[in-house]
Amino acid sequence: MALPKLAVWKFASCDGCQLSLLDCEDELLAVAGQVEIAHFLEASRERVPGPYDVSLVEGSITTRDDAHRIQKVRALSRTLVTIGACATSGGVQALRNVADVDEYRSIVYPHPEYVATLDRSTPIAQHVRVDHELRGCPINRVQLLELLAALLHGGRPPRTTASVCTECKLRDNVCVVVAHGTPCLGPVTAAGCGALCPSYHRGCYGCFGPVAAANTAAVAESLRECGMSEADVTRVFRTFNADAPAFRKEAELHDAQSQP
Amino acid sequence: MVADSASPETCRPRTPTTTEGAAARAAALADVALADVALADVALADVVVLSPPGLAALANALIGDGYRLVGPTVRSEAVVLEELESADELPWGWDVDADAGRYRLRRRADRAVFAHAVGPQPWKRFLLPPASLLWRARRGESGFSVDPPEDPLPRYALFGVRSCDLAAIAVQDRVLATSAHPDSGYRGRRARSFVVAADCATPAGTCFCSSLGCGPAAAGGYDVALTEVVTGEEHLFLARAGSAAGDAVLPRLPSRPATPHDLDAARAVVGEAAQRMGRRLDPDGLPELLAAHREDPHWNEVAQRCLSCGNCTLVCPTCFCTTVVDATDVTGTVAERRRHWDSCFDLDFSYLHAGSVRASTSARYRHWISHKLGTWPEQFGTAGCVGCGRCITWCPVGIDITAEIAALRGGVPEGGGL
Ligand code: SF4
Ligand code: SF4
Ligand code: SF4
Ligand code: SF4
């Protein structure tokens, strides 16, 4: 029986999420034995033509060409999984969505006329149907392996609606907000990382994006009590998931309040 | 050893019904008798006095008997429960400043070791671990085989359990050990455990065990109970046994007989502690109060503040909900069933075929507090709250179960209803 074909695609991104797959060291050989890695430029120059059973899509759509390319990827893929903050919410490059992209371009590049870009960075799901998503900047390789295992063997893909706080408590961390007065976005951030940052006595900065029905207003109040200014509150909601609707709206409120 | 069939009566459901009226309610609030009774019942001959080295000897004796010693220690700027190698690791000379959504360690002038009330974790961390493997199976040439269980169940000596937590363990025993469908892991760990209780002398700002008759002194459910007395140059632990195992261990320790003066000092410590609770909760008619306020607009007001993060349930010593997840490895040959703590604040907790039953935060908060204080007595014969105050301290936004109940009571019109 032919092995299922796996493809990995890159759009506007830093490659960090794809590297999580290569990072699976111990499990990588097991994965390689279960699938035919048909398209994964970060790992091999070889390209096997589609269709593909599973496509992992990293990155957001920021150019006209990519907007076309994602349609082709979708057409060639039986199951399409978006991986990482860029693919699922537009990524850090979605900061352009609240700024003037022409102005950015002219400041950053000596020859802005050579840079073809859309004025917004958008998640893959705004362009094509997405079957599963993995959040995070970068994704958690354990989640990636669990999802691949479920897809390959017909299991139910793992899902959670919990926030980072649940993982934080399961991991036996002392809450940094309560015990240290450190600002933390954990209560409104989707679980998945295993509460990485609080495990090192740092507040979560939301790289897994918002949970459903995130009470961002109450968390913003807690951030202020931990000493953040309105400008800092704006910034902390505008990082890797700046254009995720819940974070974007909260940032807008504080941006308005921090303007003189 | 504490027999898991004999749930201690540490914390009786003292919720006088409304028909008993305001007098009973006032009496219930003023009543700190349970705490006094705990030590009033104690006969001088049954108490021995340990010095701090005597306490260390108790820890060593338990380790020597093959127990894994679990007790309080300082980590990450909090007093947490961890496996300890000796009494040296206990939090000598620390106490805490706790309020809603706030916890800070404080250095004390003395070397008191049990002055820190309760920390972020409940003892269920050890008796009902946050995550565990239920079983693992492997696909073989012919069918599949299930791995034998990894470790024999641990024997824990729980060192420094407060009276609220004894009551909470008794609540979990009813659900997980002596119910019609016991949890074998919990029941085994519990039956093998040795409990060293510590009476409270310095309740924290969020404690309210005395309102619910759950403290501050241990009234049962322990093998050995300690009352720490620190006065000037004197630093003593009055020790009393609560089981045959406790009776057997005390004579092995360096100690001296207690004097009437010692016992008076110990009674004064817990008596004063009962008056110094940082919070109080009027237990009168809570099931009726909550039933009458099902549709109160107050729940929406709480939902403005509540993050639905579940921290309150994860730190609560009586909450017992777990969920089960199945996972297969990438090769498809090893399957695991794992269990971890769950929370009724998680949207998926009440997920049925068409979505979540409690979709809004107001519904989830109402459910949580109604279960704790309203429907738990009917279900399990006690309240689901023992007054430990953890949910208040460790709520990142400081939502306070006692304040929410007070707000509901305040909402009752004069002379009407309750
Ligand atoms: S440290 Fe952050 S993630 Fe952890 S419990 Fe506290 S608020 Fe939640
Ligand atoms: S704790 Fe927050 S910021 Fe840190 S890795 Fe997890 S989701 Fe990302
Ligand atoms: S509800 Fe709160 S105060 Fe009551 S036992 Fe649970 S954590 Fe403690
Ligand atoms: S009451 Fe506090 S701890 Fe509990 S879910 Fe709401 S915000 Fe979280």
Average pLDDT over residues A109-114: 87
> Is A113 among the domain residues?
yes
Q: Quick one: which of B240, B384, B407 has its CA closest to B313?
A: B384
As a whole number of angstroms, the distance between CA B370 and CA B373 comes to 5
For B275-308, give the secondary structure using H, E and C.
HCCCCCCCCCCHHHHHHHCCCCCHHHHHHHHCCC
Asked if A94 and A175 sit in the same domain, the reply is: no
Whether B340 and chain A come into contact, CB under 8 Å, resolves to yes
> Is A84 among the domain residues?
yes
A152, A172, A175 ranked by CB distance to B396: nearest? A175
As a whole number of angstroms, the distance between CA B349 and CA B153 comes to 29
Q: How far is CA B243 from CA B71, B224, B248, B313, in A?
A: 20, 7, 9, 31
Distance between Cα B301 and ligand 4 center (Å): 13
Instruction: Tell me whether residues B101 and A177 touch, CB distance under 8 A.
Output: yes
Domain boundary pick from A152, A184, A213: A152
B77, B305, B331 ranked by CB distance to A34: nearest? B331
Name the residue of B11, B169, B371, B388 to mutate for ligand 3: max ligand atoms within 8 A of Cβ: B388
Q: Quick one: which of B130, B111, B138, B123 has its CA closest to B51?
A: B111
Instruction: Tell me whether residues B78 and A162 touch, CB distance under 8 A.
Output: no
| Local confidence pLDDT in tens for the 418 residues of chain B | 444 333 334 454 333 333 333 344 334 333 334 444 568 788 898 999 999 999 999 999 999 999 999 999 999 999 999 999 999 999 999 999 999 999 999 999 999 999 999 999 999 999 999 999 999 999 998 898 999 877 789 999 999 999 999 999 999 999 999 999 999 999 999 999 999 999 999 999 999 999 999 999 998 999 999 999 998 889 999 999 999 999 999 999 999 999 999 999 999 999 999 999 999 999 999 999 999 999 999 999 999 999 999 999 999 999 999 999 999 999 999 999 999 999 999 998 988 888 888 999 999 999 999 999 999 988 888 899 999 999 999 999 999 999 999 999 995 443 333 3
Q: Quick one: which of B355, B346, B341, B339 has its CA closest to A162?
A: B346
pLDDT over threshold 60, residue A144: yes
Asked if A96 and A15 sit in the same domain, the reply is: yes
Instruction: Tell me whether residues B306 and A166 touch, CB distance under 8 A.
Output: no
Distance between Cα B143 and ligand 2 center (Å): 41
Q: Which residues of B touch A215 (CB under 8 A)?
A: 303-304, 306-308, 361
Asked if A23 and A140 sit in the same domain, the reply is: yes
Helix (H, G, I), strand (E, B) or coil at A236: helix
Structural domain that includes position A38: 5-152
Domain boundary pick from A105, A120, A152: A152
> Is A157 among the domain residues?
no
- Is residue B2 classed exposed, middle or buried when 0-12, 13-18 and 19+ CB atoms within 10 A define those classes? buried
pTM of the entire predicted model: 0.92
As a whole number of angstroms, the distance between CA B108 and CA A50 comes to 70
CATH number of the domain where residue A132 is located: 3.40.50.700
> Is A159 among the domain residues?
no
Asked if A170 and A148 sit in the same domain, the reply is: no
Asked if A26 and A101 sit in the same domain, the reply is: yes
Residue range A188-199, pLDDT digits in tens: 999 999 999 999
pLDDT at residue B128, as a whole number = 97
Distance between Cα B317 and ligand 3 center (Å): 7
Is residue A177 in contact with ligand 1, taking CB distance under 6 Å? yes
Domain boundary pick from A152, A180, A200: A152
CA of B130 to nearest chain A CA: how many angstroms apart? 5
pLDDT at residue B28, as a whole number = 38
Instruction: Tell me whether residues B348 and A170 touch, CB distance under 8 A.
Output: no
Asked if A27 and A123 sit in the same domain, the reply is: yes
- Is residue B280 classed exposed, middle or buried when 0-12, 13-18 and 19+ CB atoms within 10 A define those classes? middle
Which residues contact residue B328 at a Cβ distance below 8 angstroms, ignoring those fewer than 6 apart? A149, A150, A153, A155, B334, B335, B336
Residue A26 confidence class, pLDDT cut points 50, 70, 90: confident
Q: Quick one: which of A145, A142, A136, A138 has its CA closest to A164?
A: A136
What does pLDDT average to over chain A? 94
Instruction: Tell me whether residues B80 and A212 touch, CB distance under 8 A.
Output: no
Q: Which chain B residue is nearest to residue A31, measuring alpha carbons?
A: B330
Residue nearest to atom 2 of ligand 4 (CA): B395
Q: Which chain A residue is nearest to residue B351, measuring alpha carbons?
A: A161
Distance between Cα B12 and ligand 4 center (Å): 27
Whole-angstrom distance between the N-terminal and C-terminal Cα of chain A?
67
Query: B51 and B236 in contact (C-beta within 8 Å)?
Result: yes
> Is A158 among the domain residues?
no
Is residue A204 in contact with ligand 2, taking CB distance under 6 Å? yes
Query: A205 and A219 in contact (C-beta within 8 Å)?
Result: no
pLDDT at residue B416, as a whole number = 35
Instruction: Tell me whether residues A33 and B331 touch, CB distance under 8 A.
Output: yes
pLDDT at residue A1, as a whole number = 65
Asked if A118 and A169 sit in the same domain, the reply is: no
Asked if A146 and A190 sit in the same domain, the reply is: no
Q: Which residues of A touch B397 (CB under 8 A)?
A: 218-219, 221-222
pLDDT over threshold 60, residue A109: yes
> Is A114 among the domain residues?
yes
> Is A168 among the domain residues?
yes
Is residue B312 in contact with ligand 4, taking CB distance under 6 Å? yes
**Distance from the Cα of residue A227 to its chain's centroid:** 27
Asked if A128 and A171 sit in the same domain, the reply is: no
Asked if A92 and A130 sit in the same domain, the reply is: yes
Distance between Cα A215 and ligand 3 center (Å): 23
Residue range A55-106, pLDDT digits in tens: 999 999 999 999 999 999 999 999 999 999 999 999 999 999 988 888 888 8
Helix (H, G, I), strand (E, B) or coil at B323: strand
Is the model more confident about A20 or about B164?
Answer: B164
In this structure, how many other beta carbons lie within 10 angstroms of the beta carbon of residue A97?
16
Instruction: Tell me whether residues B396 and A166 touch, CB distance under 8 A.
Output: no
Ligand 3, residue B389: give the atom nearest the CA. Answer: 3
> Is A34 among the domain residues?
yes
In this structure, how many other beta carbons lie within 10 angstroms of the beta carbon of residue A55?
24
Helix (H, G, I), strand (E, B) or coil at B377: helix
Q: Which pair of structure tokens corresponds to residue A55? A: 């496509």
Asked if A106 and A61 sit in the same domain, the reply is: yes
Is residue A189 in contact with ligand 2, taking CB distance under 6 Å? yes
pLDDT at residue B40, as a whole number = 79
Asked if A89 and A178 sit in the same domain, the reply is: no
Angle at A164 between CA A162 and CA A168, to 5 degrees: 115
- What's the number of domains chain A is made of? 2
